[in-house]
Chains A and B, each alone.
Chain A
């Protein structure tokens, strides 16, 4: 295997929480040397959030959340209350290709790391800011939190059960979405720099990035002046198109009964015929109430009730397998245990990774969602403990002597 594509590219990573770390995770997956700049005086919130091994909190290195999104990165701690920390950061930036942050607009400027300053240190630097609202516009100083970005984007008003209030996405979707778009933007800027020698600044608004995923909703409005109605799991051009109740998990988990569901879609009448046979109701394929898309849409409540009668006494995994065998699109609505232990496909693709971590041992983490045929693709190491690489970076990369490092540490610059 050839070395990873971004071997030799260094990222001075000022990001925190989720959007920014998801951006630099992609770059680490591609082989970049991502150095997270952290501080023990105000650690990344994800270092203290659950889950912790066996539910036991303690310290800054035990969170599964942090350990998921910082695999393969290095950690350097700097306390910017000390001017010497600024000097260390400037030296690091001089040896970096990319500087990332997801602070609100203006924070990097106030820290003395605005783009104009960075350019003086490294003329061809690429800098990206993944802020909530972007660098311009009347709301640029507004505060953005992950969960609130989903309703702000418009996604909530489009998502929900029929006749219900707007719903959420179930996770802070705008964060990873901004992160992965940001990684793409950095790669495009690296390509441009390789061709022209020119670096640049990229202003990203998480809000705007999320709206680029909503063309069907936005264009309904610009084309027809209409707000789309929320319609649960249904689709105007396919029926059935739903999520159906199956048997509960046979085992209790943490004392709870866990329900299970299967997603089933018939893209056309042929699929419907296959499904009708698979659920042992072949006569329904030609029954006028269900024979065409229009009739199935008209009688969708009844259609879903008939399918539920069949699914409710079966296991979700068995249903998905047998419907796929019959040629019908179906999948288990996977929960974390299903993905972790029961999805034979994702296991066969070696998606999950286990790397040694000094405080949590080998834990299963989501890996890289693509495979490159020729260049190495692997998660190089578990997420770093806080400040794990401070000495290594200062000494080997930035040329500080052991005495200088001791002094910096004594004055608190490396907290």
Chain B
């Protein structure tokens, strides 16, 4: 059985994370993705690493290799008229074009939906941009950190009321890019469903800032409902929900419901202190956290992470290990589910990577090929797909178009 999206043809003009992740989600479900990179330099993810042995190499960057498996890779300079012309010809054969070209750059090179639509009226074109393609900030420069801030999530994380001088804290990695990517993939698939219904394409405008602001849980609503500002400095109203140190690592101690707390107290051997009035309910435990912490630390620190985790989970108390990368790679649960996948790349070598976010029972999620080397499929795509002869391709190469 082929993948769920095996009849979908996608062109990706993607750099770093957002558009490449959207196209990856589809590629891993069988869609054909042709990824376009700048001649010479390629996708900036090629410079980001991590690199095996710490030696930077454009074909060995972990971020690039992860995001671009299952894709064909070609080089094309869309800032050159001939490059744009070739992009139009590729778009004419595709169902979807996903890109994250920065809006001022789109303007500069004349890359627009109107233009792509002329080449292919049934094309779905998705623009994933930091602030969207309209509005006063559309041309603002953006990086991961600035977007995590602009989306309203970063302000919620940090050391808390005892350390007001410490700044709001980012979340590790490329989370703004990933969220732009997956929300972009949802919107794109919506437009694809409409295309399936009536054969027409459309432009999809995805804002990374808004994708992040969609995930503020209850915190955003504190302003319109109660006139309150939510920040990292708030104290936790209920406890315990805290990271604590075990013998061999960290565990997340989590008792939200009363029955979970009672089960944990029993696991701890029903100590006398737990009967104190100041710990009688979760709100009181929040108010008296400084005192409670001392008792809990003493107990937790005598256990290993896995022992305590298994012990409390047997009583349905939702603790979790603060997993290290090694914990994840060695987890018996993840091994049994086959989460990590091995990918062999001709230059980078054979390594394990994060695998499927979802398991489909009828259609497979699968790695069919490793990420492309820069321009690896130029001949196949420009030659066989677009019918350029080798003299023409040599000419385009000489002039820096491909």
19 extra interchain contacts, Cβ-Cβ under 8 A, other than A5-B191, A187-B189, A212-B355?
A65-B221, A151-B322, A176-B215, A177-B179, A187-B190, A192-B362, A201-B361, A213-B174, A215-B66, A219-B353, A265-B143, A324-B137, A334-B155, A335-B230, A339-B213, A340-B224, A345-B131, A348-B134, A372-B194
Residues from chain A with Cβ under 8 Å of B324 in the complex:
154, 157, 227
Do B152 and A339 have beta carbons less than 8 Å apart? yes
How many angstroms between the C-alpha atoms of A181 and B25 in the bound complex? Answer: 9
Q: Which of B32-40, B72-80, B180-188, B278-286 contacts A (4 or more CB under 8 A)?
A: B180-188
Do B225 and A217 have beta carbons less than 8 Å apart? no
| Size bracket, chain A contacts | 35 or more
Task: Give A151 Cβ to nearest chain B Cβ, in Å.
Answer: 4
Q: Which of A161, A177, A329 contacts B159 (CB 8 A)?
A: A161
Do B146 and A263 have beta carbons less than 8 Å apart? yes
Tell me whether A203 is interfacial, beta carbon within 8 Å.
yes
Residues from chain B with Cβ under 8 Å of A199 in the complex:
362
Q: Which chain B residue lies CB-closest to A146?
A: B217
Q: Which chain A residue lies CB-closest to B154?
A: A333
Residues from chain A with Cβ under 8 Å of B42 in the complex:
none
Tell me whether A214 is interfacial, beta carbon within 8 Å.
yes
Tell me whether A93 is interfacial, beta carbon within 8 Å.
no
Q: Which of A74-82, A234-242, A282-290, A407-415 contacts B (4 or more CB under 8 A)?
A: A234-242
Residues from chain A with Cβ under 8 Å of B313 in the complex:
139, 142-143
Q: Which of A166, A215, A360 gathers the greatest number of chain B CB atoms within 10 Å?
A: A215
How many angstroms between the C-alpha atoms of A81 and B229 in the bound complex? Answer: 42
Q: Mark A151-170, 1 if CB is under 8 A from B, else 0.
A: 11111111111001111111
Tell me whether B110 is interfacial, beta carbon within 8 Å.
no
Residues from chain A with Cβ under 8 Å of B220 in the complex:
68, 336, 339-340, 366
Task: Give A380 Cβ to nearest chain B Cβ, in Å.
Answer: 15
How many angstroms between the C-alpha atoms of A237 and B329 in the bound complex? Answer: 27
Tell me whether A205 is interfacial, beta carbon within 8 Å.
yes
Residues from chain B with Cβ under 8 Å of A217 in the complex:
172-173, 325
Residues from chain A with Cβ under 8 Å of B245 in the complex:
165
Could you write out 15 A-B pairs with CB less than 8 Å apart?
Answer: A6-B190, A137-B336, A152-B322, A170-B171, A171-B153, A177-B179, A184-B189, A188-B29, A204-B359, A208-B339, A216-B172, A224-B50, A224-B52, A265-B145, A369-B206
Do B194 and A363 have beta carbons less than 8 Å apart? no
Q: Which of A151, A243, A256, A267 contacts B320 (CB 8 A)?
A: A151
Tell me whether A18 is interfacial, beta carbon within 8 Å.
yes
Q: Which of A34-42, A49-57, A388-396, A398-406 contacts B (4 or more CB under 8 A)?
A: A49-57
Do B202 and A372 have beta carbons less than 8 Å apart? yes
Tell me whether A200 is interfacial, beta carbon within 8 Å.
yes
Given A209-B357, A331-B147, A339-B220, verify A151-B323 contact (CB < 8 Å).
yes
Do B363 and A216 have beta carbons less than 8 Å apart? no
Residues from chain A with Cβ under 8 Å of B215 in the complex:
22, 171, 173, 176-177
Do A180 and B186 have beta carbons less than 8 Å apart? yes
Q: Which of A166, A182, A204, A244 gathers the greatest number of chain B CB atoms within 10 Å?
A: A166
Q: Which chain A residue lies CB-closest to B150?
A: A331
Do A134 and B5 have beta carbons less than 8 Å apart? no
Do B329 and A218 have beta carbons less than 8 Å apart? yes
Q: Mark A359-397, 1 if CB is under 8 A from B, else 0.
A: 010011111111111110000000000000000000000
Residues from chain A with Cβ under 8 Å of B206 in the complex:
369-370
Task: Give A53 Cβ to nearest chain B Cβ, in Å.
Answer: 5
Residues from chain B with Cβ under 8 Å of A148 in the complex:
252, 254, 318-320
How many angstroms between the C-alpha atoms of A249 and B175 in the bound complex? Answer: 28
Given A151-B323, A191-B189, verify A181-B182 contact (CB < 8 Å).
yes
Do A213 and B175 have beta carbons less than 8 Å apart? yes
Q: Which chain B residue lies CB-closest to A339?
A: B152
Give 7 nearest A-B pairs by CB, closest first. A170-B157, A64-B221, A219-B62, A170-B156, A369-B210, A221-B325, A187-B189
> Does more than half of chain A's interface fall in helix, strand or loop, or is it mixed?
mixed
Task: Give B126 Cβ to nearest chain A Cβ, in Å.
Answer: 8
Tell me whether A2 is interfacial, beta carbon within 8 Å.
yes
Q: Which of A160, A198, A215, A224 contacts B169 (CB 8 A)?
A: A160
Q: Mark B90-123, 1 if CB is under 8 A from A, else 0.
A: 0000000000000000000000010000000000
Do B145 and A241 have beta carbons less than 8 Å apart? yes
Q: Which of B49, B149, B175, B200 contacts A332 (CB 8 A)?
A: B149
How many angstroms between the C-alpha atoms of A358 and B279 in the bound complex? Answer: 39
How many angstroms between the C-alpha atoms of A67 and B225 in the bound complex? Answer: 11
Q: Which chain A residue lies CB-closest to B22?
A: A184
Tell me whether A195 is interfacial, beta carbon within 8 Å.
yes
Residues from chain A with Cβ under 8 Å of B194 in the complex:
2, 5, 372, 374-375
Do B186 and A159 have beta carbons less than 8 Å apart? no
Residues from chain B with Cβ under 8 Å of A241 in the complex:
143, 145
Tell me whether B261 is interfacial, beta carbon within 8 Å.
no
Residues from chain A with Cβ under 8 Å of B200 in the complex:
2, 374
Do A170 and B173 have beta carbons less than 8 Å apart? no
Do B323 and A152 have beta carbons less than 8 Å apart? yes
Task: Give B297 Cβ to nearest chain A Cβ, in Å.
Answer: 12
Q: Which chain A residue lies CB-closest to B31?
A: A188
Which residues from 83 to 132 on chain A have a C-beta closer than 8 Å to any C-beta of chain B?
115
Q: Which of B156, B204, B214 contacts A372 (CB 8 A)?
A: B204
Task: Give B252 Cβ to nearest chain A Cβ, in Å.
Answer: 4
How many angstroms between the C-alpha atoms of A258 and B228 in the bound complex? Answer: 11
Do A327 and B323 have beta carbons less than 8 Å apart? no
Q: Which of B160-168, B267-275, B387-395 contacts A (4 or more CB under 8 A)?
A: B160-168
Do B205 and A373 have beta carbons less than 8 Å apart? yes
Do B232 and A152 have beta carbons less than 8 Å apart? no
Given A51-B226, A153-B323, A254-B227, verify A333-B155 contact (CB < 8 Å).
yes
Task: Give A197 Cβ to nearest chain B Cβ, in Å.
Answer: 11
Tell me whether A172 is interfacial, beta carbon within 8 Å.
yes
Tell me whether B192 is interfacial, beta carbon within 8 Å.
yes
Do B354 and A218 have beta carbons less than 8 Å apart? yes
Tell me whether B300 is interfacial, beta carbon within 8 Å.
no
Q: Which chain B residue lies CB-closest to A192?
A: B4
Tell me whether A73 is interfacial, beta carbon within 8 Å.
no
Tell me whether B381 is interfacial, beta carbon within 8 Å.
no
